[in-house]
Chains A and B, each alone.
Chain A
């Protein structure tokens, strides 16, 4: 069965420092991996995805994520955090395409707090 784990409920970072939000996954076959961000009282917005190819994926707002197949991880990173990055971040996984559609399985979310 597919699953996603986000081991940290909250990550605290000082503005200007690098940030990492962790995600590990379990899926049969090659995974499709996603990061979404949710700002207060808003819906989820797509940040980036890994389907195939380069293990380092670049996304919106300066975020990137590194796919590591041996560690089954897909950690979200940013070289220099901004206060405006403070939000709830969700990692999600989808298995190989089946029957023309599929479902995303989400982690519990990690709250990122960036302090001035």
Chain B
């Protein structure tokens, strides 16, 4: 089925470890987004990419980096994980003529 695929679904990291969250979409969408979801705070935008080769910071970019590898893939990297980065991470995409997002199923990350 067409959609947004995120890997992994679950991850536990130790403080200071690094990891990359992967996201891929097969809908030929131009823009892609990374959000984090925390209780009582809704979804907060970390980074987004309007098109292949461009990325921009969102509300909460500190501690993260991103790569728009091609039109399909948009990865999120934690260089040195901190307990404050314990969260559920969602990737989303939107096409040029579309008006809303298609979301992936999320990655639940715990940093201990």
| A and B associate in one complex | yes
Known interface pairs A101-B50, A103-B48, A107-B42. Does A51 touch B96 (Cβ–Cβ under 8 Å)?
no
The chain B residues found within 8 Å of chain A, CB to CB, are 30-31, 33, 35, 40-43, 45, 48, 50-51, 58, 90, 94, 96, 99-106
Contacting pair A43 B99 (CB below 8 A):
no
B interface, by DSSP: helix, strand, loop or mixed? loop
Return the contact of A108 from the options B31, B40, B50, B105 (Cβ within 8 A).
B40
Contacting pair A103 B42 (CB below 8 A):
no
10 smallest CB-CB distances across A and B, nearest first, come from A108-B42, A101-B31, A43-B105, A106-B43, A43-B103, A101-B50, A44-B103, A106-B42, A34-B100, A109-B42
Q: List 7 A-B contacts (CB under 8 A).
A: A34-B99, A36-B103, A42-B105, A94-B100, A103-B58, A106-B35, A107-B42
**Chain B residue nearest in CB terms to A35:** B100
